[in-house]
Amino acid sequence: MPFLGAHMPTSGGLHLVFDRIAAVGGEALQLFTRNQRQWAGTSITDAEAEAFAAGWKRWGREHIFAHASYLINLASPDETLWRKSASALAREFIRCARLNIPWVVLHPGSHKGAGRNDGCIRAAACLDMAFEEAGDQAGDVGLLLENTSGTGTALGADPEDLAEMISASEHALRLGICWDTCHGFAAGHDPRHQDSWAEVTSRLDRTVGLSRLQLLHLNDSKTPLGSRRDRHEHIGLGEIGFAGFSTILNDPPLAHLPMVLETPKGSDLAEDIENLNVLRGLLKAVPEENL
């Protein structure tokens, strides 16, 4: 069975994400280590690291991921922004190492008119620069490139983009991917039918390799297939629908993976509880002879 969870807010302290994920019955967790819309992310203090470790121990689960800042653009043709992105990512690696979070999730960025090939090469070089700038302080922290809806000049709408970045990097062994269902649907990858979803996973396997798939973001889509617009909706209430999520959840090669919600929610987290209940209701029982 997949490990189902959600992205959790960190208001009041990073360690509080564990109380929140436990409150919704989550088995996997994603968070921002610092404000996702600011460049100036400070270091993790000793007190933060200790409180985070204690909270993690109480929660008792394994799967934790950090999402990097939305401001980072690995593929930017602007030299200043490109180097700023590498430094921001390096600081994220170091923060995650302090917290023992093994993976950072990141959108690949936009080539801003420079072209797909140049953008992918530049993205790989930015990743390498970030790993090298972080050095030993990053420990073994790796990075998951997240697929995108392909709006404008954004890279990552197709698996081939992600594969090209990975193959061009000098740190390919520390790279994997995260598949977002809403982004994928908006980019034209359809999970609503077994055959079309099998085409998606086969394409992933041919390009990046399914072994690099470490995380799924489970988000329904407000917009139609191929819309190129990223608009998250609650599970079953969007264009992907219950059939699409049933297909994904019960796909045997994905059965071991953590999968987290990034759907809208209020402070009481009621929406996460409802969405997780819906997802668990779509899981099919495994026959005893297959256990």
- Go through the domains of the chain in sequence order and give each one's CATH number: 3-284 (3.20.20.150)
Backbone φ and ψ for 104, nearest 5 degrees, come out as -110, 130
pLDDT-derived band at 59 (thresholds 50, 70, 90) equals very high
Model confidence, pTM: 0.95
Task: Enter the tokens of residue 180.
Answer: 């977002």
For residue 180, the cross-strand partners are 217
CA 110, 97, 50, 43 torsion-angle sign: negative
* Annotation: binding site: 67, 107, 146, 180, 183, 217, 230, 232, 262
Averaged pLDDT for residues 134-147: 98
The tens digit of pLDDT for each residue in 168-210 reads 999 999 999 999 999 999 999 999 999 999 999 999 999 999 9
**CA–CA separation, 242 and 66 (whole Å):** 27
The alpha-carbon radius of gyration of the chain (Å, integer) is 18
pLDDT-derived band at 284 (thresholds 50, 70, 90) equals confident
* Annotation: binding site for Zn(2+): 67, 107, 146, 180, 183, 217, 230, 232, 262
The active-site residue out of 70, 170, 199, 280 is 70
pLDDT-derived band at 285 (thresholds 50, 70, 90) equals low
- Mean pLDDT over the full length of the chain: 96
